[in-house]
Amino acid sequence: MRFSVLDQSPIPEGLTGVDALRNTLDLAQLADRLGYHRYWVAEHHGGPMLAGPAPEVLIGPIASVTQGIRVGSGGVMLPHYSPLKVAESFSLLAGLFPGRIDLGIGRAAGTDPLTTFALQRDRRQASPDDFPQQLAELLAYLEDDMPEEHPFARLSKTLPGRPEVPECWLLGSSAQSAIWAAEIGLSYAFADFINPEGAALVADYRKRHAAEHKHRASRTAVAVWAICAETDEQAQYLASSSRMSMRLLRQGQLTAVPTPEKALDYLRAIGQPTDHGFTDGRRGVIGSPETVRAKLYEVADAYGAEEVIVVTITHDHLARRRSYELIAEAVGLEPREAPVPDAVTAA
């Protein structure tokens, strides 16, 4: 079983987006040392809670300050972009950091309708819903598989990072994304933290993938929202910040990540539980190392996943670091040794 990190670059109340981005670099270095397999950064626009609108910009700095961990997008929201531009950006990254770059591709907007419209280059009308065509074009560039008669055929040979290419994943939380991933033969990362009822969808993905691609094994990862602390009670206390944020988000109110004290006062005032789960049916894996380990493996087993991607949001960055440390220890990750510096030759 592999364990990885999805970092949404949360902005704690009282701090700035710059602080959140520095925390992302710090956490990536920690995850690398702890032995996590990959470190993905998300794409969200136009809100005060998350500071990561451009994973393609963050990936380079993260890869530069880490050594062995894979780095990628979780994910690039393809409807906002030209497939060629995405292919060029991730080819460049793959060339600079060989064997370490992932391209996780998503369809969601990552924001509200007004911000989605603001992101459009042409605002005379809504952008077409042509994600399957975008995805096919993107993969054709990366795989150098554009039909010879296609007007863009020569462009696939100009990608700057060749022969290196990113490892591609399709991200999703719905039946349609599972179907697309299977039909195309992509690895599939399912967002359980958005839809905890996805085990049957992932099983369908594997079945369809096996039928369509008999000589290529499917790969499944499940992304789970989790907080780990020394005790169950402490973890529940830390999780109150996300409970408040999610409650306000459903009401259309976007806020920075509140302190646990503020969140507990808010939850009590509206009569919401302060010690378990989320009120909208979302799953929270929250507790001591023993509790979280057991629940993460339970989720992985339900999905038949080979990899668990852990997403954690807390107000206190040190608590978030500690959560990943405790999970790494609980699941038995092998720490990475720092590379030996090259010998300096005297002139």
pLDDT tens readout for residues 320-329: 999 999 999 9
Query: What residue type is assigned to position 96 of the chain?
Result: L
Answer yes or no: are the C-beta atoms of 331 and 26 closer than 8 Å.
Answer: no
Residue 271 lies in a domain: no
pLDDT of 278 reads 61
Residue 321 lies in a domain: yes
Looking up residue 169, the CATH number of its domain turns out to be 3.20.20.30
pLDDT tens readout for residues 240-297: 999 999 899 888 888 999 999 999 999 999 988 777 666 566 789 999 999 999 999 9
What residue numbers bound the domain in which 113 lies? 2-232+281-331
* Count of Cβ atoms closer than 10 Å to residue 215 Cβ: 5
Average of per-residue pLDDT across 308-320? 98
Residue 342 lies in a domain: no
Residue 58 φ then ψ, to 5°: -75, -30
Distance CA 190, CA 172 (A): 5
pLDDT of 279 reads 55
Q: 153, 167, 187, 142: which is closest to 71 by C-alpha?
A: 167
- Which stretches of the chain are DSSP H helices? 17-34, 55-64, 83-96, 113-119, 131-142, 175-184, 199-212, 232-250, 260-269, 289-303, 317-331
Q: Work out the pLDDT band at 340, boundaries 50, 70, 90.
A: very low
Distance CA 195, CA 189 (A): 12
Cβ partners under 8 Å of residue 322, min gap 6 = 228, 229
* Count of Cβ atoms closer than 10 Å to residue 190 Cβ: 28
Distance CA 275, CA 291 (A): 14
Q: Work out the pLDDT band at 64, boundaries 50, 70, 90.
A: very high
The conformational region for residue 110 under phi > 0 = left, psi -120 to 50 = alpha, else beta, is left
* Count of Cβ atoms closer than 10 Å to residue 148 Cβ: 6
pLDDT tens readout for residues 185-237: 999 999 999 999 999 999 999 999 999 998 889 999 999 999 999 999 999 99
Answer yes or no: are the C-beta atoms of 56 and 87 closer than 8 Å.
Answer: no
Query: What residue type is assigned to position 170 of the chain?
Result: L
Rounding to the nearest 10 degrees, give the CA dihedral for residues 294, 298, 304, 308.
Answer: -50
Residue 276 lies in a domain: no
pLDDT of 128 reads 86
Distance CA 185, CA 188 (A): 9
pLDDT over 50 at 339, yes or no: yes
- The predicted model scores a pTM of 0.94
Residue 65 lies in a domain: yes
For residue 158, what are its two tokens?
Answer: 């100009």
Residue 244 lies in a domain: no
Of the chain, the percentage scoring pLDDT greater than 70 comes to: 95
Average of per-residue pLDDT across 74-83? 95
Answer yes or no: are the C-beta atoms of 274 and 244 closer than 8 Å.
Answer: no
Residue 220 lies in a domain: yes
Q: Work out the pLDDT band at 89, boundaries 50, 70, 90.
A: very high
pLDDT over 60 at 143, yes or no: yes
Residue 269 lies in a domain: no
Distance CA 144, CA 165 (A): 10
pLDDT over 70 at 30, yes or no: yes
The tally of domains found in the chain comes to 1
